[in-house]
Structure 1
Amino acid sequence: MWKLSNIKAIIQKLRVKKPWDDIIIFILNILIAIPVFIIIHQNLVDPEWPFEIDRILLFIAIVVLLQLLLRLLRRVIIICIAAYLFFLLFNSIFGNFGFWSVAEDYNAMLYNMSEDPNPQDIIIAKLLPFPNKSKILDAIDYDNPDVRNFALMATTKHFRNINKYKEYRTTVQCFAVFKEIKKRWNYVNDPRGREYIARASETVQHFSGDCDDHSILMAACIRAIGGVPRIISTDAHLYPEMLIGTQKDFEAINYIIKEVLFKEESKGKTVHYHIDEHGQIWLNLDYTATYPGGPFMSEEILGALTLY
């Protein structure tokens, strides 16, 4: 059996001499503080304090607490380093929060803290029935082979090599559909004196029509590849939106839109979205937008038709 003196001798050999122990403690503190801060940041409700003061104070508190803890573990600091590296390496291979995830979440967090997205809370100004609801639902024939095949083609044509964001693969593929429809869309009015509602399988032949037809086609294609769309009704206008998810999801998606997928189209511009009564975020995909989350053509919302 090992004696206490043997254990003390091993600990003494592993102990780092001054001043290197203080330097290592500080570096290890920052390396641990960043992922810990990201996890807490993503699970806290944002009180929307000015200049992100709440997040700054949170990070300082985490650093101070970790500094005290690591000083208590000064004698086994090398073991702490080994445990930290093993944890990140293990999660990089087998888990969901490894080296890449830390860097990705950190970039997205900093980007969103410096950006100024434009959230809009949904307010149903008038309790009006959704116009042509049954006809529009019938027209969103997402299980039609022509609709499904077009959506699949778009996902192979755009953003296919974006492999870093596996968690948001479906969202990225829906953005590919948006890009392809945007490139092809030709606005054409309905017949005079008549509201013509085309099925998605009809519109996909020529990519032409009015806002109703665009919304139906976009909703059908997004639904066909696993996304969750909805159509918003405003005064004399319909447009599609797509479910993004929570605030955490939006932080990542905002970064992906502005720094990866639509960097040129969104340069210097704001990402627009709505927050529903459940706190879920929906991104604008109107044909007037050049990137997902482009400016709203009409602000006042009169109704929403969601396709779960």
Structure 2
Amino acid sequence: MHQRDGARQPRSLRKAAALLVSAVVAGSFFSPTGVAVATAAEPGTGRILGRLASETGEPVAGDVVAIDESTGQAYSATAQSNGAYAITGVPAGRYAVLFRPSEAAMPDAPYGYVDAWYPNARRGDGAARVIVDVGTETLAVDSALCAAGRVTGVLAGIPGTYAVALLDEPTPVDPFDGDTLVAELDAAGEFALRAPAGGYELLVYRRSGHDWHPYAVAETRVEVESRSPVGIPVIAAPAAGAAELVLRDDDGGLAVEADVILRNTGSSRVERDGLTDDAGRVVFEGLASGTYTVAVNGVERTPSLVVAVHPDLRAHVTEPA
């Protein structure tokens, strides 16, 4: 089962956080006793030092990345088994610090830990910012990680390849592009993923070719508690249909290469987009049954153009000249 879970970040910071692998890796400096040792900073830079720990105060190994708010550049270090880390050579500026605990370092967390923004905030826009000054040390940038909860459930009723995501932020276009809490269903239609405590909407994605598309929102809101399991009642996803549209521009001509967005009238999270061809035509396959409004190049059609999608049928909509 394909699973990728962790703290979710606003889209503006996802790309920056993804630089963890290719970031400028600042060295971690530790004494034999395990205490972070301040070393000479590079000219014109400062340092960020601290400790990664569980909510019970036990040290946690893992990675730490500081993301420059103005440039998106990432500077990283590794928290050792004692939790201490040191990021040096950090240019002056404002940073958001992200802690990524090691998968192996979770003895007191039954479902593991999830990523945390300093100070233990799930979202980047809720994190306290760290200000680094030239030639100074920014100390006590610590994290007290909370153990995750586990969410399990079953999706039933329709064939296809699906994934389930827990969301408390704007809907990602591709749930596996970034750090969304998401898990692909196994052959039995079951899913299991871990998540930090909090309230979430449960969104079903459907795969079409190599792409994932938001499909339907479950009626039940998910409330997750640290160290606790949550079982979701069987989710009956609606059957799929399709829609074919032929659109015209404001002058009455065919809308060629227009960016078309379908939005499900029952949920702001379920939408699809595509480009019209030379005949002003665009086709959307694998839509959950329901009604959808149409927006062209970011502007909703007025009067509203509504498309009704029915199971196993293709809706045809042609605007008059």
Identify whether the pair has TM-score above 0.5, normalized to the shorter chain: no
Larger relative contact order (CA 8 Å, sep ≥ 6):
1
| TM-score, structure 1 normalization | 0.23
Larger relative helix fraction:
1
